[in-house]
Amino acid sequence: MKHHHIVSKIAIYLLSAVLVIFGFFQFKYPHDLLIYVPDFLPGGITWTYFVGGAFILVGISFATNKYVKFTSYLLAAMLLIFILTIHLPNALNAGNAEMRTWAWINLFKDSAILGFALHIAAGAHHQHLHFEESD
């Protein structure tokens, strides 16, 4: 039986819970979050639902220890896109100081979660995606 460090498990379950809560927030308040969808993306509010679903699925993946490596990398990629297309432009170009401050806070928050997702992916070396029985 493999030994899993209890603190690491608690940290992953905590992130899992936070991601699920973020996901439900996206579904409950999609119009409030629509302002963060970049104007160059077609689809508008569909993106808030997509992101909410992605957060929930990643949270479930972490909680159930299924497809963790795959979902960790997807979460990291999604957060990197948020940082580069939403938070950084807002931090550099927002009209007032309060919005710039919130953009920097969100940039650093998503950077921290991105780092944790990469750490989780690196620790999930034992997991593989099996699309066929012969893999």
Residue with tokens 């699925």: 57
**Which residues are within 8 A (CB) of 55 and not within 5 positions of it... i.e. 6 or more apart?**
19, 20, 22, 23, 26
Nearest to 32 by CA among 51, 48, 55: 48
Q: Tens of pLDDT along 71-128?
A: 999 999 999 999 999 899 989 988 888 989 999 999 999 999 999 999 998 887 666 5
CA atoms of 76 and 78, how far apart (whole Å) = 5
**Which residues are within 8 A (CB) of 120 and not within 5 positions of it... i.e. 6 or more apart?**
12, 15, 62, 68, 72
Domain ranges of the chain: 6-123
Task: Give the predicted TM-score (pTM) of the model.
Answer: 0.82
